[in-house]
Structure 1
Amino acid sequence: MLKYHLALLLYRFFLLINLPVIIIVLLIRSTKHKAYRQRLTERLGLLPGGLKSGGIVIHAASVGEVMALKAFIEQVLAAYPELPVTLTTFTPTGSAQVKKLFADRVQHCYLPLDIWPCSTLFLRTLAPKAMVFMETELWPNLLGQSAGKNIPLLLVNGRLSENSMKSYRKLSWLITPALQRFDTILPQSQPHRDNFLALGAKADTCIVSGNLKFDISQTAEISNKQEELSQLMANRGPVWIAASTHEGDEQLILAAYKKITLNTPKLLLVMVPRHPERFEKVHQLCLDAGLSVIKRSSNQPLDDDSQVWLLDTLGELMAAYALSDIVTIGGTFSHIGGHNPLEPALFKKPVIVGSDMSNFAEIHRQFNREQAVIEIPAQGDVSTTLAEQVQHLLDSPQQAQNLGQNGYDIVRQNQGASAFSLEQLSRLLAGNS
């Protein structure tokens, strides 16, 4: 324990003396995304006035985590209407998603930098009864301070991939004690639990819960947004969505699209970049490819000659999935590790991915096993193979329907992690009352 305290002290000192550098990095990043220089005081632990203390703090790093936690947060709000729930993020896009999904039903602020004075101010202002973190969000200083104040700590949807393990093993002197600060860790699956245990988590605190990402449903908000988008689409079809694309994905997808339109000239490509700061660049890529492109933000209806619809907005992807015929997941061709295939599966849409789904390895294995996905190998001319697979699904509606149904069945059969996570949170709150 003495060794850990010395390590934590060094960690705190290192971050503290590098605070000016961290702020400069945020300011540099803000040149492309101005939101990073807004609300900078929250990064330092100076929270907005009027936040209520003595509630539950739930941390979701960015958009994907906010979406994955939605069902769990809704259950927390219903179970504890008397407690303020503060939902923190670390990115501006995550912040925007919180406001879009929950409005004033939750309190919101950024989680401060993991530096002793910043986290001290944060904890002093909110004085939480419990704190909930997600997946691999390990903040050694904040966890240590919270445990010192006897604040129950819960890690939900715990995920430790093999890639993360390689990095964390090098920092085991810091990570292992941080994991042991959690009162309960809820890994997504047994392999993830094994990895947590290998890093030093306590076996009696580590309980497999299932994956929160399965707990999704079509809400009234999604249905309303679906209707709004359909008015602009003017019954265009067929529709191919390229979702959550990254650098390198778009060129490949645009090349595939041009091949497909030789046989299916009316195909509409809905391009959805993962990061808002890339909207303009992707728009230019579409123009450079010689394609007709309309931005969603223009609120302009599509016409028969529209080829690409650039979804340069936030919070509309789920509704767009409902209006699609085929979905390709980005980040699977560019070594990012992929994004969530469960969302299109909720709407029974056939899913095509590239060769890298490492961020969703277990879910991807399920999809492969149940014939709910088409995977494009990295070998050969990837854009041509992608074009051939999209065209095949357009020409084989029964196979497309079967793929979508199989994915939907996987979603429904694996739901329940949110309710289990709520049970564990309730147990911690009861034990600390």
Structure 2
Amino acid sequence: MVNSSFKKNTIIIHASSVGEVLALKPFVEKLLHQNPSLTVTFTTFTPTGSTQVINLFTERVQHCYLPFDCWPCTSVFLNALQPKAMVFMETEIWPNLLAQCKHKKIKLLLINARLSEKSVKSYRKLNWLIQPSLSAFDHIYCQSSDNLERFIKLGADINKASVSGNLKYDISINPSLAIKQKELKQFLHHDRKVWVVASTHQGDEDIILSAFKQIKITCPDLLLILVPRHPERFDTIAKLCQQNFNTIRRSQKLKIDTNTDIWLLDSLGELLAAYSLANIVTMGGSFSNIGGHNPLEPALFKLPIIVGPDMHNFTEVMLQLTQQKGIIELTHMNNINEKLCEQVIKLLHNPEIAEQYGNNAFQVVQTNQGASQRSLDKLIELINKF
């Protein structure tokens, strides 16, 4: 529902998930800073995404949910906001909404675009629907050359598609993040080694806790900071951890002492700050057919990163990190607990190796930054063509 007080002639930016909201942050910050006269409306599709937008941008953007892709809903939505342009992210293709925008001459930009080979095969079965949707975009900015080829295969106009790089490289430590880091540090016993396991999904925790039990035999002082991806699982994971480990939840606001095994971050918006506490990071979603989560965020802190076998959402990122020896990937699920345990212990006992992995990962981030500014330049160019 669009608030009746919302301004019209806005720029609408859509992100379907928390991860996309975070990836868009540098782009939106640049847009707000460089074009203060423009009104920005940030739309999401989930409550967690909505919370993230509010936390990041407060009153600086208008925020509402994007309606279902059916004519009456999207028609009311567009009439209420009368946007100059709409910006979509990654794989967001809304055929009805795109067609209406095209008819109303609303500029359309798809940024950070990506498509897997599997998606190409699926979309080809709906080519009668997908090809007109891709043609509706005034420009498609792809993460990499292989993604660009896939979009062209599906019918994107070769003259209106190009490579911008990946927005997810455009991350930085800002003042608000530094404040959150300081807040979290106050809860810790500073002499302890810390293993952060980020954005876990169902199935990940069993593997992590099994490995952690073995690691504690060799490294009894290690603290595990566990960060489940979805808030609705916080209570379940807390009970799972408490079966075998002394566990404190972030929501309890208790200090972590030498007897604490696990600090469960049952909170939103604190993961990036939690990386600053870590000695080693493991990305969840890489053990459970989810496709992994963004390894570039811990790379920003020069941390050694371990991931499971499934990182298909970050193929191009993984290629660069692997080539530069900036990540450790466990390539098979066979004996995954033991393999994970072995790598964590190796990094804890060999700080020089851990430091080299962290430095290499950070260099990959630095080398690939700039997609946010390129995407913004294209948006402003399209708006000025009115």
Whether 1:391 aligns to 2:345 is: yes
Q: CA deviation at 1:194?
A: 0.2
Q: What does residue 42 of structure 2 align with?
A: 87
Residue of structure 2 aligned with 1:262, choices 188, 204, 217: 217
How far the C-alpha of 1:377 sits from its partner, in A, is 2.6
Which amino acid is the alignment partner of residue 342 of structure 1?
A: L
Counterpart code for 1:385: K
Between 310-319 and 228-237, the greater mean CA deviation after superposition: 228-237
Alignment partners' CA distance in 1, 2:35 and 2:11: 9
TM-aligned CA deviation for residue 83 of structure 1: 1.7
Please give the alpha-carbon distance, in whole angstroms, between the structure 2 residues aligned to 1:75 and 1:421: 10
1:363 aligns with 2:317: yes
Please state whether the residue corresponding to 2:360 is helix, strand or coil: helix
Local SS of the residue matching 2:111: strand
Distance (whole Å) between structure 2 residues aligned to residue 49 and residue 235 of structure 1: 50
Between stretches 159-168 and 355-364, larger displacement belongs to: 159-168
- The 5 Å alignment of 1:104-253 reads 104-253=59-208
In 1, Cα distance between equivalents of 2:119 and 2:350: 40
Query: Residues 15-34 of structure 1 correspond to what in structure 2 (within 5 A)?
Result: none
Distance in 1 (CA, whole Å) between partners of 2:21 and 2:101 is 22
Contact 2:200–2:227 (Cα < 8 Å) also in 1: yes
SS for the counterpart of 2:42 is strand
Give, in whole Å, the separation in 2 of the partners of 1:163 and 1:48: 39
Query: 2:365 — aligned with what?
Result: 411
Shift of 1:380: 2.8
- Unaligned stretches of 5+ in structure 1? 1-41
The 1:284–1:236 alpha-carbon spacing in structure 2 relative to 1, beyond 3 Å, is: farther
Residue matched to 2:326? 372
Q: TM-score, normalised by structure 2?
A: 0.99
Deviations 1:322-352 (A, max 9, x none): 1100000011111111000000000000000
Letter in 1 for 2:205: E
Instruction: Between 314-323 and 73-82, report the one with greater CA deviation.
Output: 73-82
Give the CA deviation at 1:379. Answer: 4.4
Q: Which residue in 1 is equivalent to 2:300?
A: 346
2:245 is matched with which residue: 284, 287, 291? 291
* Paired letter, 2:363: D
Equivalent residues of 1:236, 1:268 under 8 A apart: no
Change (3 A) 1:173 1:53: same
Distance in 2 (CA, whole Å) between partners of 1:234 and 1:105 is 37
How many Å apart are 1:236 and its aligned residue? 4.8
Rounded Cα–Cα distance in structure 2 between residues aligned with 1:125 and 1:379:
50
TM-score (norm 1): 0.88
Contact 2:309 2:333 (C-alpha < 8 Å) held by counterparts? no
Percent of aligned pairs with the same amino acid: 53
CA contact 1:56–1:130 (8 Å) conserved in 2: yes
Aligned residue identity for 2:115: L
> In structure 2, what is the Cα distance between the partners aligned to 1:153 and 1:404?
38
Paired position in structure 2 for 1:10: none
| Structure 1 stretches of 4+ moved >2 Å | none
**2:144 & 2:330 partners in 1: Cα distance?**
26
What does the per-residue CA deviation read over 1:268-314, in whole Å, with 9 as the maximum and x for residues that have no partner? 001101111111111111122x1111110111111110000100101
Q: What RMSD in Å do the two structures reach over aligned CA positions?
A: 0.8
From 271, 276, 299, the equivalent of 1:322 is: 276
1:157 Cα offset (Å): 0.5
1:384 deviates by 0.9
SS in 2 for 1:378: coil
Matched residue, 2:354? 400
- Whether contact under 8 Å (1:337, 1:359) holds in the other structure is yes
- Tell me which residue corresponds to 1:306: 260
Q: 1:147, 1:298 → 2: CA distance?
A: 50
Gaps in structure 2 of 5+ consecutive residues? none
Would the aligned equivalents of 1:153 and 1:183 in 2 still touch at CA under 8 Å?
yes
Which piece of structure 1 moves more, 227-236 or 301-310?
227-236
State the number of aligned residues.
386
Which letter maps to 1:362? E
* Partner amino acid, structure 2, of 1:330: G
Could you tell me how far apart the structure 1 residues matched to 2:204 and 2:362 are? 26
Deviations 1:39-97 (A, max 9, x none): xxx3xxxx122111101000011110000000100111122211210000001100000
Distance in 1 of aligned mates of 2:291 and 2:240: 23
